[in-house]
Each structure stands twice: as C-alpha cells, then as structure tokens.
Amino acid sequence: MCPSSPTSSNNALSTAVIEAIAKEMDVDPTKLPEQLYDVIDPDSLDSLFTSGNPTDGTVTFAYCGYTVTITADSDVTLEE
C-alpha cells in the first residue's frame, strides 16, 4: 500500500487521487491513461466527506490499475 498525505481543505479529494496516482506512476497528472470521471463522479467524491455527511467510513474504487481507498480523514491509499 502507498499512503498519501491527508488532503488540505483547499485540496479536493478528486485532485488528491489524481496526484497520488500520477506520483505513483511517475507521470504528469495530465498524462494518466484513464480519466477519473470515467471511473467515479469527481464532484460526488469531493463532497462525500464534507460537513453534514458522515465523519467516518471509506470509499474504494479501481483507477489506473490501482485500488484507491479514501477515508473520512481524507487519507488516500493506493494498492496494486
């Protein structure tokens, strides 16, 4: 597993996922082989753990050959 650092309040979860995958693949985020919106709705992902929503839980999905897990703490973990 490859954990990334928690996202800041200014950094959307969708952006954190793209950056984590790009870093792991050692490519520019614009050069990823798959678009995030083809896998999951980025707007829904960004609002998933915002105030008013549950403060615990996880979401897991496949993206660019990795299993991406995001926690309510905004931790992004990649697993091949």
- What are the sequence ranges of the domains in the chain? 2-79
Q: What is the mean pLDDT of residues 63-69?
A: 98
Q: Is pLDDT at 5 greater than 50 in this prediction?
A: no
pLDDT digits (tens, 9 = 90+) for 7-64: 444 579 999 999 999 999 999 999 999 999 999 999 999 988 876 656 688 999 999 9
What's the pTM? 0.82
Quick one: pLDDT at residue 56?
Answer: 81
| 36 vs 70: CA distance, rounded Å | 14
Quick one: pLDDT at residue 6?
Answer: 43
Q: Which of 56, 62, 52, 55 is nearest to 17 (CA)?
A: 62
